[in-house]
Every structure is written in C-alpha cells, then in structure tokens.
Structure 1
Amino acid sequence: MDLVTGTPIVVNETSTRCLSAQEDAGTLFLQMIMIIEITVGLPGNIIALWIFFFRMKFWKPHIIFLLNLVLADFLLLISVPFRIHTHMRGEYWVFGEVWCSINLFMLAVNRSASIAFMTVVALDRYFKVIHPHHWISQMTLTHAAWLAGLTWVAVIALRIPLLTTNLLQQDGNISLCRSFNFYKVIPVGVKIHYVAFVAEFFLPWFLLLFSSAKIACYLNQQKLKDMQKRVRRAIRAVAVISIVFTFCFMPSVITGLVALYIRNLHPMKCKIYHRSTQLFMTCISFTYLNSASDPFIYFYSSSMFRNILRSSNCFKKHVSRVINAEK
C-alpha cells in the first residue's frame, strides 16, 4: 500500500488474490475526502493568508510559525487535484515521471512541515506558560524566522530522497505514481521515507501529550484569575493542536504499521491483510484533512488572529448565514 496516496500495492501472487474489487470503496472515499479538502481547505487558508499578510499589525514568534503552517498547507492544496484526477482515472498517472516525483515530494513535505510547525507552536505555548523566563520564551522575531527556515531545510532534506527515486511504476499499459511499491531491494531513499513517515508522528505526538499534561497541572496550581485565563488559553491551543494532529495522522500510521506487519510476517492471511489494507485506505484519507483543519489552530493559537477574524466583514457575514440557515 502507498503510505502517501493510500493505494494498495500488488506484492506477489498471494497479495494479488487477496485484493478484490472492494478496494474501489476505499478509493471512492479517498476521492470524496480530497474534494472536501479542496473545497474547505482552500478558502480557509486563503483567508488565513490574507489576515497574516494584510491585517496582522503586530508580529510575534508564534505568528511566524503559524504563517509557515499556512505555507505548508498550500503544498497539499497544489498537489491534491492531481491525486483526484489520478484516482478518477483508475490510478492511471498521465503527468510523467518528473511530476510524479515532485507531486509525491510535495505531499510528503506538507505532512512533515505541518507536523513540525504544529509541534513548534504547541511547544512555544508550553514554554511561555511553564518556563516564561527561559530563552526560548524570550525568542525574538529574528530567532523565530531562523528557526522556521531551519525547519524547512530539515524537512526538505529529509524528503529529497523521494526526488532521486523513480516512483513511476508500470502495471501493463498503466503508469502508477506511488511512493510505496514492491522492491526486491528497497532503495535507500524509500527506506528513509518509510522511517520518516512513522518517526515524525510518534516523537511530536508524545511532545504534544507532555505539553498538554504539564500545562493542565500548572493550571490546577494557579490561584490568580488573570493567570488562570492566560493558562487556559494556552492549554486550549495545545489541546486543539493535539486533537487535529491525532485525528489527521495517527489512524494512517497505526493501520499502515498493522498492514505492513501482516504482509511481511503473515503473507498467507489474505482476508486479514485485505481488511487491514482497506482500513488503511480509509484512514489515509484523514491525512488530507490537515489543511482544512489548520484554520482551527490559527484561531485558537493566536488571540490577534482570532480578533481580526471576528472583526472582519467576511466572518460576520458567514456567521449570519449560518444563523439564518439554522432558523
């Protein structure tokens, strides 16, 4: 199966017999999620970009990190239409080998960058509350810009191996563009991709849980109401990041590991392998929702963003339409 696109991969004759026509249901669900991602994520991120560039008067380090999260989302929004087109053509990739590698590279970079900047925003909230006098809490805009730049360098460097590997495979007369294929000898670049897919989830996830727990404990120890209000805002921001992070990325990682375990250690259990693959195809769809969910992170992580959005005419009109629709 493809750890980016969610497409099951034919490994051998046994695996071929395990896969049936039911896989179309998973592909259809994936198409629906990607269409939702475009229709919801694109307007939300355009509004966020407009606020950051044209309405934000005062900049703080966490605003820089949120802006970079928006930029990461646009990599996904650019790439998804090509995946929709491919799924609608029965997995037939018509855009050539070069764009196949670039497309999968952009999807992988979006995932890595989204995870990285979500984690950085959460840790920034954690240090501001728990360690207000730490040098990280005193970070300047210049330091934040350098950190964001180094994050992009690390993310891109980690995913460059995808650009050096031929990811376009032939299945008869059909070209398949996948980041996960059957190899007699797995290329080094693909191995790095597999390891990164799993590792870049678990470490940040534990950091998010740790930050949430520490801020919650700190909240219980505070007696001043003004201090409690500030801490509550921080824990709300970290909690929203943790929920979005877990919802979007955990299902695909867990089901992907289960499916790989069954394929490698129990290759004859076709029924179980097929079910695990279908489950993975469903769960990988949630990864595409991270861009549509990120506006919630902007809203709860920055009071300035929240106030600007609430005062904007487009937000007021949208709220009015929702209220009128409910009536």
Structure 2
Amino acid sequence: MSLELSGNFTESNWTTPVPGGGGGPGGRGGCPPVGIQLEGLILPPVLTIDVILGLLGNVVALWIFCFKLKSWNPNTLFLFNLVIADFFALLSLPLRIDALLRGHWVFGDGMCRINLFLMFSNRSASIALMTVVAIYRYFKVVHPHHRFNRMTKRQAAFVSLFVWILVISPRVPMLAYNHIKGSGDKTQCFFFTSYKEASRAIIILVAMHRILTVLEFIVPFGMLIFCSARISCFLRKRQIGKPDKVRKAMRVCAAIVAVFMVCFLPTTVTTIGIWVIRSFRPWDCTSFYTFTQLTIVSLGLNFLNSALDPIIYVFSSSMFRKALCSSLPRALRCMMDAGDGKEASSTESQSTTQQELKSIRDDRRSEAL
C-alpha cells in the first residue's frame, strides 16, 4: 500500500524543483500544498466498513480453524497464516481511523512506527500467501503426482515461515525511523512528506517501498494468471471424468485474481503514476493532484482484502467449508445442503450418461461382431 501519503494522506509540502527555475504552477517551489481534505471524508467510513466486515469474517474463520477443524493439511495452514495477516491490518486500522477523524495523531512515535509497519506488512503478506495458496492448488490439479503435493504440515509451516521472513524483512527498517511530523494538534504520522524535509535514509526507504509495491503485485499476479490459464486448459481437456476438483480449483484462482484486481491493482497503478510524475513531470501539478486523490480512494480498497479473504477460505478448503456449514443454523445448512445435492445430482447424472453411452457403444460392437 502506498502510505507515503499517510497521516493526512497528502504530500502537503512537495518542493521538487521545477526544471528551468519556474514556469510551473508552483514556480521555483514546485507544486503548492495539495490542500485537500478528501481523505477525511472518504476514508473513515470506508475503513470502518473494512474493519467491521473484516473482523466478522476473520473472527468466524479463526474460530473454525481453531475449534472446528479436526485435522489440518498444508492448504489449511497457509489459509490460517492469511487470517493472521488480516488481523495485523485490522488491528492497525482503528488508530488510522481515529487520526483521520481527529485530524491529527495522538498515539506517539512508537505506535506510529508499529502502525505503519503493520499496514505495509499486511499487503505484502496477503499477496504472498494468496499466491502460495493458488500455486498449491495448481500443483494439486495439474501435476497431481508431483512431490510438491506430498508436502507435510511441518514443511508447510517452514514455507509459511519463509514467506513471513520474505515479506517482513524489507519493512523492518521502517521501525528504525521517526515518522512523526508536527506537534500538538498538528501532529501527523507520515511515512514520507517531502524531499526537502526527508533525510537520505528516508528517501532510500521510500524508493525501496515504491519498487516493492509494484513488484510484489506484478510478479504474483503474473503467477496467478499462469496458474489460472493452466488449470483452465486442464479443465477443457478433462471434460469427461471428474471435473469437480478441477472446477473448484478454478474457482479458487478466479477468487484470488478478483481480490488482486479489486484491492491491490488500484494502489499499484497510483503508485506508478505518482512515481512517474515525480520523476519526469515535476511541474505537472494537475496530474499530481489527480493521482493523489486516486491514491486516497484506493487506500480504502487496499484493506478490503481483509473482508474478502474469508471468501477464499470457503472456496479453497473443503474442510473449512464443511466445518462452516456444520456451524450454521439449520435453515441455512439445509439450503447449502440442497445446493450441494444439486451439484452432486448433476455429477451423478453426468456419470450415468457416460455409463449409458459406454453401454450403447459396447452393444454396437457386439452387434457388429
């Protein structure tokens, strides 16, 4: 998530020099202060909805993982880690909502560092773990005899640990720097404000963040598209047989791709847009303001993934789905059982039709003989 606009979510003192010493809207000082309060109007209600929906879905998911699942497999372990990543974000958002409603940060430097660290880490961890889930499903369907499918729970735990180390390590330096700007009722928890105010270390940290924001979306998204395409091809080739498992895997990949597109693509695009403007068009204040406002809107979508991830749990784990169904009220359970019955009936009908066709072909062969 591009939180270089966090705090007020605006780079209110952008002082990049204008090439030629003038001619732009801001003269020698570059663009004047953004001067918008859009984030104070849009983000509090959007982030509040994200927190409410995310907590409801993930508390239920955590309860099912901890108390309803009798046995775990590697896929379940990956999904459990995704729940933990979502809780990191959900714990950090109330502080950000409070700062937006007050208009300033009141929780001090230490909580500011932790808050920004958790918000950044959530995006990276969610993307990485969803990619692992999709890859695991891909091997299960397309390469069922691959040794990857014989992964033990212990090995899955090591994979999860590796993912956490991979996504957290680049964010650890964020904890080493003070991100508090201003004082009193003007105190803000910024990740970055302006090149004029920032130290060289912060500038390097922001540059690394921008690169990670783009790469951690593009590379996993490419892998997801590959997995989805391969599973789709496999599905078309296996029209006759047992397509249920393949169809479920396709739904998993489709759900993850949808979450990527809705939650993570907007922040990636706006990050690239601001990067390009700051690098090649520092005098184009109109474009800068436009991308700033788009970034503000995209921040709300970025945390929507915590509310949408429970859908992935339902699609990607039959054990989770069965445990959830067994925990539902009887009326809802009957409705879901009816749906499952229709699907099973459809599958049984396909199987019966295939057997009848085979019987007809056998009869014709016997008549020919």
Q: TM-score normalised to the size of structure 1?
A: 0.90
Name the structure 2 match of 1:99. Answer: 111
Letter in 2 for 1:214: R
Q: CA deviation at 1:170?
A: 2.3
Residues 172 and 45 (structure 1), Cα distance of their counterparts in 2 relative to 1, 3 Å cut: closer
Q: 1: CA distance between counterparts of 2:217 and 2:183?
A: 32
Identity of aligned residues (%): 40
Any unmatched runs of 5+ in structure 2? 16-28, 336-369
Q: Within 5 Å, give how 1:156-175 maps onto structure 2.
A: 156-170=168-182, 174-175=186-187
Deviation string, structure 1 residues 243-272 (Cα, Å, up to 9, x no partner): 112210010110121122223322222222
Equivalent of residue 198 in structure 1, options 184, 205, 214: 214
Query: How many residue pairs get matched?
Result: 315
Name the structure 2 match of 1:303. Answer: 318
Native 8 Å contact 1:79 1:107 kept in 2: yes
For residue 132 of structure 1, give the secondary structure of its aligned residue in structure 2. Answer: coil
Residues 175 and 241 (structure 1), Cα distance of their counterparts in 2 relative to 1, 3 Å cut: same
Equivalent of residue 11 in structure 2, options 9, 12, 17: 9
Name the structure 1 match of 2:283. Answer: 268
Native 8 Å contact 1:165 1:189 kept in 2: no
Native 8 Å contact 1:164 1:189 kept in 2: no
Q: Within 5 Å, give how 1:166-245 maps onto structure 2.
A: 166-170=178-182, 174-184=186-196, 185-187=199-201, 188-226=204-242, 228-245=243-260
Q: 2: CA distance between counterparts of 1:267 and 1:204?
A: 31
For residue 187 of structure 2, give the secondary structure of its aligned residue in structure 1. Answer: strand
Residues 287 and 230 (structure 1), Cα distance of their counterparts in 2 relative to 1, 3 Å cut: same
Residues 238 and 316 (structure 1), Cα distance of their counterparts in 2 relative to 1, 3 Å cut: farther
Any unmatched runs of 5+ in structure 1? 321-327
Alignment of 1:63 with 2:76, yes or no, is yes
Q: Within 5 Å, give how 1:63-82 maps onto structure 2.
A: 63-82=76-95
Q: TM-score normalised to the size of structure 2?
A: 0.80
Letter in 2 for 1:40: L
Q: CA deviation at 1:98?
A: 1.1
Across the aligned residues of Structure 1 and Structure 2, the Cα RMSD in angstroms comes to: 2.1
Letter in 2 for 1:59: W
Q: CA deviation at 1:190?
A: 3.4
For residue 148 of structure 2, give the secondary structure of its aligned residue in structure 1. Answer: coil
User: Between Structure 1 and Structure 2, whose CA radius of gyration is higher?
Assistant: 2
For residue 166 of structure 1, give the secondary structure of its aligned residue in structure 2. Answer: coil
Letter in 2 for 1:146: F
Deviation string, structure 1 residues 250-307 (Cα, Å, up to 9, x no partner): 1011012112222332222222221121111111210111100101010111111112
Residues 301 and 183 (structure 1), Cα distance of their counterparts in 2 relative to 1, 3 Å cut: same
Name the structure 2 match of 1:323. Answer: none
For residue 270 of structure 2, give the secondary structure of its aligned residue in structure 1. Answer: helix
